[in-house]
Structure 1
């Protein structure tokens, strides 16, 4: 088996490969599985990190010059080998590559010994076009040198790395494919008048590879995560919190039942309605008193009118004189207990 990371090719002597399922915080929803590779590897000259510090000229030989002062390179100088760098420099160069996160990781074997181009991959992450795996990996754990052979041209080391792989993939045309899980809980609380307050709290996990590649803004996912408002309720509060890694979104929605439903249907765009109602009530005694007041006013008006007429008639008779006064015959009514006379 061969292990390649960040362009460094390593042949494995022994390896331990663990795969385990990863669930959400509640332990109910499967997210992805985690790879942990612990391998004893050999880095040979074909790894590409054997550097040289001196030019191909021996330090104890001076270059030959022609009559015009130009350098003449002889055969001895051409065949001199370059001096390799120290083991410390080689270690620094390799460690700088192998300890960087989110690099290309391949774990494979050459199934056909006669044709090295026939390769079977056990692990190939990140996937083509992605900048990381689904959990922002791969993540190197350790790189420990066991032994250096020769002039730092062969190194035996222990390399440990972790990577994450999800089942299936995501699509730009399918927004739900970037969502690994969405778990929530719903609680109802009744007040003193038996009106309901509904609280929905949840956590959504997103694919880190999809976020990086599609340049997603997780905060814009709130409309997709918000539950529908029940009929007769009003949304009182919305709380959204995004983790530092931008892969988990915590949300909370509070809906309160209203005492009256004024709008039929969904009521899109209406956030608040204000209604003012005025109502006047009168008691039975107040109504009777107002009737008496009206009758008293009418009676007083009629009495005043009759008095005015009598005064006008009396003034008119005084102006005519005593000789021309007309007698007014008055009929006296008998007492209530007097006997009635049948004769006229």
Structure 2
């Protein structure tokens, strides 16, 4: 059981993670958060990108290696490789995020590892994948999202797409690898056969973009017609008088009707919600109305109702929001004279309670 009373479904699963940056370590942290025993193999000198991106003074509890057993090995020595293979021999899964072919050159590729442990799930985290014309090219989150076609969907009114947070690519890749590893462990336990999981961020982001692809095929996103998700008055971000912003997402008729009622826009016909010709005028009115009052006003009027509302919060505010506090979504850590937040493991599991 976890400290929040949830089941830890991966308790007893042993994972060996080879040091990397971004999605690989996050995948290991996800598995550890659900109870897996993760051993992190680090190098005598951390890679440049890891030293640059981690910064200084981050509380140890917030680091992605927190909760993992750290073992330092020189993988360019025969002794280091032998020690790594000994760890692999007793593991259920392996995580590596090096450029394709790098683990093979170290003598730690799938063939060598499966020779020691045929049941091993060998998880490979890359941006472009193990094969394909770009497999050997460097890249980062932004590049991978661009290649899937999804970044183009963030462009509005002829402007360039906004750079999204790394959760779109790197964290999505981490989640996809975690899903692949746990699926493959189930297969290995039933069949006795391990496998290689080729987790490419481009593949996983594209897969999770299925909703966008369906919407585009239906003509509701990315086509010649105004989009409910980009152009409508009921699904957008609105500026308030205090310089903050709120979001509205009243896509369904019953939610749109309530939105109009609460905004006292009773002369607007809710039955005409999807009449695209009316969208510019209605949007202009809602924009002007929302801009006339502070975000706290709209929170008190619309928060917790069925208009599909949320304020745009900073990370610090999100950690202290009553809903997130009630669920324990974030944990606060002391960093000098301030507190910083990191999210807690998810999803959550509770035991079955038959009647």
TM-score by length of 2: 0.17
TM-score by length of 1: 0.18
* Greater helix fraction, Structure 1 or Structure 2: 2
Structure ID, larger Rg? 1
Greater RCO, 1 or 2 (C-alpha within 8 Å, sep 6+): 2
